[in-house]
Structure 1
């Protein structure tokens, strides 16, 4: 599998081209145990460096080269064993080349990578502290959104945590947490990962300070962040810390789920050491809960893996876990053997621990010595800065006084020279002005005489040319006037004849239109009368027959349920018959044809108010008698709008009003119902009504050459405003 990944990366890298060469991917720290993945990252970093070395020296190309060095240092930093020395090598190259290019940001990043190696591999905390202080000094020159000062503070927290100065460690981690959100270079995921790391380290320090409730809160927060950004390492770390917390409090049952989740993650990451530590802890948990078989199984797996890894701390964990498991199972001999193994490993580790503690004391002393020297240097530096500022202020005052004195002397000498120069200049100017005035007077006389002769000659030539041109233009104008007069006479006759023809054609068209409109109205009237008659005769007759048939039944012989059905049928038949009568009358009311639109609308309003909850009012005092077509259209519009109000508006009041304004007739139909969200939509650059009924209203309005406006708000009713021009064709004479 590793060879396959390497082969694929070799094939992909040339194909990706410039985009991949200039943009390196983020390292997925959860896959640092995946050898194929890490080898592909190393190969990518080396190819990036090879490519950037060939580029010309520009600010952008220098940054690309430095980023390649940083990328390789980070990749080697994630590997274990002697390979980490390569991380230190590339970190040193990064610091040196960033210094040559005067790039403080990458100098700080290189120093941080060097500090990690010195602290974690060499255990040289004093030099690690010195590197952190150098990085902090460089961060002063960087902007907060790019400054890695958060990393400096986090590294200081790690150093204090190793030196067991837990309060100072918590303070440094909290400073790092405050600085992290200000950094805009980090991706959102990496920023959250680093915040989770800092929170976890604060939890470790709080455990050491026996602030257990705060510590468990921190570990839970780390767990939430790990799930949020899908970080397997941070999640397994939080689960192990929570499990340890429960195990130390003898709550083994609550610790087991955390350990099992951690074990699944270690298996996914293919990390045997992580699996071994969890097996040992699960063995202890199951021995506490009385499940000795599971405790022994996990303990033996942990011991075998620890021996394979040759890891004494893991062997110690597995031995003590097996000792407790065997003892709980009653296997005394095995328990004794495991205890002896545990004691032997413990004594060996205690010896190492004592040595490490002595080394830690020495390192702590070295760190304190470095801190004291740094503070001493800072005090000396501050004192020197203060003295330099004082000397600079004194020198500035003295220099300013000397400058003012020299400036005054210079101004005085300059003023004296200026006075003498002005005297000489004024004398010379006076003589020059006198000579110039004499020369100018003579020149003016000569120019005046020359111009006079020139003007006389030019004027004579222009006068002759003007006379000739005027004579020629008069001849041309006279000839053109004759031609235009002849053309105008013929053109006027043609225009007059064509105008008479067009007027006759227009009159014929108007007559045809009136005939068509009258025929259409007659056809619609006849059709409405036919439909009304059919409704009244056929459907009305059928309903009457149904009513008679129902009356022939004897309701007294029916059951109670059948009597209820019988009454419902009688009521529905009576209402249907009344509705058919109203419908046949509304299709073509006699009042519209005989007495006009006003009387027909009055009759319609009366019927609506008798049968409906919505109360209609009519103001038709200014309505004149119109021709049949117009009255038919207006009646149909009012009928359609009344039906819409009754069906859809939920209005309690509706009003129809006619107003005559100059040569226009305005018809306003409004209600206080729920209104409409949209009554028009755009179609082929034309506003078109929504719904068949509203489109019919729009078509009738356009047929009358009128204009329709609709005003509606949800919850505030609807108003239809019609403007109809009153012409001799519209008004009934």
Structure 2
């Protein structure tokens, strides 16, 4: 309590010192007013008004606002544009302190074009920063963030550490209020370092305050309290009551969040007294609201009610103050118009009485001049009307010609489209004929090769086999008998392989009875006297596929069956072939070990399968599961295209 009284006594002594300084500035204003009229007198008055306005800001905001309005009125004279920019910006700052953000925006938008016109880049950046401050208070963060970026872009070309600190302060608040606490902490630490380096004590205190605020949002209360206390110490050095009040309120709120009601109450009372001394109704209202919550939590309903009543009274007063100010502004504008109108009437009456003849003469001359001007203007209008009418006629003619050209162009486009459609149909038919002829040629060549293998090479192997039968093995030595048996076995294997190759090049069942019968016959042969049993399943193959597709499917399935027999070491395998609306789906599964040693490197068989699939536009997927064998899934598209009612297999 003693510390609190000591702080209040220091504040009161500071107030007396500030009042003495203000009285001296008022005397300077009076002296400046006694100077001869001219730019020098107006400049001295503006300087004195500016100094008084700034001196009052931490003593009495209402008085600061009064001298600010006087400075605006005085600096609207020619040659005083620099003071006018400053006065507009300071008005925006005062309204910001009062919590009237819309009025703050209004004045800063008055200052901004003037600063840009006079190429005062730091003032331009300052207005952008204060506008961002006001929009942040209105929670319009997108606008505020864009204005901050514009202000910092100006300062990169024209540096000013004070204005940069102001904008960084706003940018940190934007990040904090949007919950982007890491970015807020980074920006506020940058603000603090800049202010400390440039010895900007106010912003150094505000940087510490902002860092503490972020730590408070992060729930790191010890760090937050430490930064708040450092900020409070620096704020008292600057004498800034609004900053001090804001810091005191934050410390009080921090203690309230920890339910340390005694400390929270002490700092809240101190914030209230600080705001009351300078007439800062906005912070005083926040302090009463905080007091209401503290008293309510500590079981003091009477004090809580009193604090709430004061809060409501100040809140309504602030709202009424904004409304009254707007009414006063409108009233002043109206009075100004009325006075101007009355002055004009008096001047007209005076001129009418003193110089009636001269006015009449000038009036006649003006009437004649206006009549001549009207006559000349009428002739010009008639000429323009004629020109417009001619242009309208030309436009109608041009539009008609353009319409005819469009019709002709449309008919040409239709004709060309029909020609292209017909050419495309013809091209598709030719492609189908070429594909059919190519497949027919391949089929004929396969037949020829199969017949050559069967008739010539098979006959030759049969003759060799018959010839070797005439050799009596009993006349041979033991080693020669071994060679004889080996050659006989090889000839029999070669004969079987030639028969299989000639059969597989073009199976008779495939050409005559189709894919289903051919594969069924193949599987039936494979399942005879073999430990590896194959199962076969068809779906959607009630009608035969195109001959080329059937042959490729048969060849692919045959290759996959050979892979299972050679490498899988399986006891069972399944083959599934399904016809869908988009193509043919093939699946070959086994319960063995898959490709065995060829898991990584594909063999010739699978390479042949992939080559066939590339020509058909198909795809292959191989899946190996531990203990469940290999599954190979293949899709071969059989797309159809429709053109002018004709359906083509693509």
Give TM-score, length-normalised by structure 1. Answer: 0.35
The TM-score with structure 2 as length reference comes to 0.39
